[in-house]
Each structure stands twice: as C-alpha cells, then as structure tokens.
Amino acid sequence: MINLSLFAADPAETHHWLLPETAEIIYGGIASVVIIGALVKFALPQFKKAMAARTERIQKELDASQGDLAQAEADAAKIRQALGDISSEKARLMADAQAQADALLAEGRSRLTAEVADMEAKADADIAAASARGSDELRTEIGRLATVATDRVLASVLDDATQQSLVENFITKVGASR
C-alpha cells in the first residue's frame, strides 16, 4: 500500500512564507560565494586590465590629438607667414611687371618717334624728288612745246633764205667753240 501521508502535505508550502528552505539558502549561498569568488579572481583582473587599456588608449588619443593640434597651429602659422610672403611677392612681381611695362612703353614710344622721324624724312625726300622730277618734266615739256611753237612760228615768219642763214650761223658758232 501506498503511504498517503507523504503526499498529504503540499510540496509548495514552506516552513515560512518569506524565507526559502534552509537547504536552498545554504546551496544558493555557497554557489553565490563560489561564483562571486570566481568573478573576483578571474574576471576582475581582466576587467581592470581592459579598463586600464581603455584608459591608456584614450590617453594616447588625447596626447595624439594634442600633438596634432600643436602641429595644426604650427602649420597655420606657416601658412599665415607664407600668405604674407605671397602678398609681398605679389606686390614685388606687380612692381616688376609695371616697371617692365613702363620701360616697354617708353621704348615703344621712342622707337615710334624715330620711325615717324624717318618716315617724315623719307617723305620729305620723296616730295623733293617728285618736285625736282616734276620741274624737270615741266621744263622738258615746256622746251618741247616751245620748240614746236618756234618751228611753227618760224616756218610762218622766216623765209627759206633767213632760215638757211640762221642754220649756218649756228653751225659756225658750234664749230668755233670747239
């Protein structure tokens, strides 16, 4: 037969409504101490090591950023100085360019003045030559026209005997002058 007295009590009932059974307290306490001890012995050094490494890494980053900041400030100072140098170099180059432009302009003006003077002299010479040539051509034309007119007038005024006498006198004068 089955002993019903063992089953008569409710297994969910404990000796106290707030506290667990004594065995559970003992086994739970021992397990908690073992786990906490293992965590303290094994996990705490790893945790401390990880935190120290993290702190060291952060400190290195801070130091590196401080160095980068100092380098950036030095670079900025160099850039500002170079900018000043660029401004003075720009001013110097502009002054040089202006001086060269002024010299080139003066040279061009003097060359143009000389060319204009040469062209004026050549034009004066051409005008004088054209005037002399025109005068010579005019004299030649006047002489030709005078000869034609003289021949026509003499032919109508002079008779053959007078004309013959004039030709002979001319020949004698030419022969005597030799």
Q: Is the dihedral of CA 105, 107, 113, 119 positive or negative?
A: negative
Longest dimension (CA), the chain: 209
Q: Which has the minimum average pLDDT: 3-12, 43-52, 137-146?
A: 3-12
pLDDT tens-digit series, residues 88-108: 888 888 999 999 999 999 999
pLDDT tens-digit series, residues 141-168: 888 888 888 777 766 777 777 778 888 8
What beta strand segments (E) does 42-168 contain?
none
- Whether pTM > 0.75 for this model: the answer is no
46: Cβ contacts below 8 Å, ≥ 6 apart = none
Per-domain residue ranges of the chain: 22-166
Q: In the prediction, which pLDDT does 13 show?
A: 63
